[in-house]
Amino acid sequence: MDYSRPALADRLAAEYALGTLRGPARRRFETLLQAHPALRAAVRDWHDRLMPLAASVKPVQPSKAVWQGVEKTLFAARATPSTTLPPTVLPWWQRLGVWQAMASFATVAAIGLGVLLSQPQPAQPPIVIVMNANPEAAGVVRASFVASVSADGKALVLKPLDAVALDASRALELWAVPGQGAPRSLGLVSPQAATTVLRTQLLKDTAAFAVSLEPAGGSPTGAPTGPILSLGKI
């Protein structure tokens, strides 16, 4: 497999950064990172795109009691190696599923972990939506995306899994689709690179995100006029 191909490197890096690349495939990818500069560059690019999602998170100094609890949990087993957990009690890293969800974001995890330790309730990680290509539009344009929405619902990063070829008379437009009612335009998005959308309450009354094919400049009616190329439910 030619890992120097930009499209392949970007797709693998996207799955790695978003945490959807798991098990043996993830371990193999981490081994390949040491030998493939193109893969390392693609992962860095994804981390840079995801960093804005953590921009709204303010650092909070954990209390002394929190750190004491963490140290007791982490190092108690070393002090008493003969002590075992009851069969019904899971290790802390399996009980805190939100930490597992954030572990794949290497540069964001350091910020998120500090916040989680300092809050009485686990902080919600960014919401990741895979927007699959619409088979009905495959004959027109095939497009699939990954959308990452910050936990506060104020920032969205949309990136195509593969570059979308468009002529100058066409554009891609992102829509927030409610459970009922008309979709709301979130603006034009790049067919080849990541697009950052900043809006308040991105997730309010939103059941899905969609990308439509529109004339250059966007929909002239305020509603999708072209085929829906990609759709992802929240």
Question: Counting Cβ atoms within 10 Å, is residue 107 exposed (0-12), middle (13-18) or buried (19+)?
Answer: middle
Per domain, the residue ranges of the chain are 6-54, 64-118, 127-233
Span 132-177, pLDDT tens digits: 888 888 788 889 999 988 878 888 999 998 888 888 899 999 999 9
What's the whole-number average pLDDT of the chain? 76
Q: What is the CATH number of domain 127-233?
A: 2.60.40
Query: What is the predicted pLDDT for the residue at 104?
Result: 40
Cα separation of 203 and 78, whole Å?
44
Cα separation of 200 and 155, whole Å?
8
Residue 210 contacts residue 177 (beta carbons within 8 Å): yes
Strand order in the sheet with 155-160: 184-189, 170-177, 208-215, 228-233, 127-133, 145-149, 155-160, 195-198
Span 49-74, pLDDT tens digits: 777 666 666 667 777 777 777 777 76
The DSSP symbol for 167 reads -
Span 72-106, pLDDT tens digits: 776 665 555 544 445 544 433 333 343 344 334 43
pLDDT at 41 > cutoff 90: no
Residue 53 contacts residue 148 (beta carbons within 8 Å): yes
Q: What is the average per-residue pLDDT within 193-222?
A: 91
pLDDT at 119 > cutoff 60: no
Span 8-20, pLDDT tens digits: 778 888 888 877 7
Query: What is the predicted pLDDT for the residue at 209?
Result: 94
